C-alpha cells in the first residue's frame, strides 16, 4: 500500500473479503472506543464498493 507523502510502512490487515487484484480499491477503517488497542492493529482495510480505476 503506497500513500503519497507517507514515509512509513503501514502494517494492517484486510477484513471481509477474499484476495484482492491489482487495481482494486480499499478503504481504511479504524477501530475506536472500547475496542481500540492503541496499536497498529486498530487500522484495517475493507474493499471499497467502487470498482477499480
Confidence of residue 32 (pLDDT cuts 50, 70, 90): very high
Position of cell 507523502?
Answer: 5
CB atoms within 10 A of CB 44: 17
Examine the pLDDT at 51 and tell me if it is beyond 70: no
Mean pLDDT over 8-15 rounds to 80
Query: Would you list the domain boundaries of the chain?
Result: 1-53
pLDDT at 52 (0 to 100): 55
Position of cell 507517507?
Answer: 6
pLDDT at 39 (0 to 100): 84
DSSP one-letter string for 1-53 = ---TT--S----EEESSS---TT--EEEEE--GGG--SSGGGEEEEE-SS---
Examine the pLDDT at 1 and tell me if it is beyond 80: no
Between 53 and 14, name the one with better pLDDT: 14
pLDDT at 10 (0 to 100): 72
Amino acid at each position: 500500500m503506497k500513500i503519497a507523502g507517507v514515509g512509513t510502512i503501514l502494517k494492517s490487515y484486510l477484513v471481509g473479503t477474499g484476495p484482492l487484484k491489482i487495481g482494486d480499491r480499499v478503504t481504511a477503517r479504524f477501530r475506536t472506543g472500547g475496542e481500540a488497542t492503541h496499536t497498529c492493529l486498530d487500522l484495517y482495510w475493507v474493499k471499497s464498493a467502487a470498482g477499480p480505476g
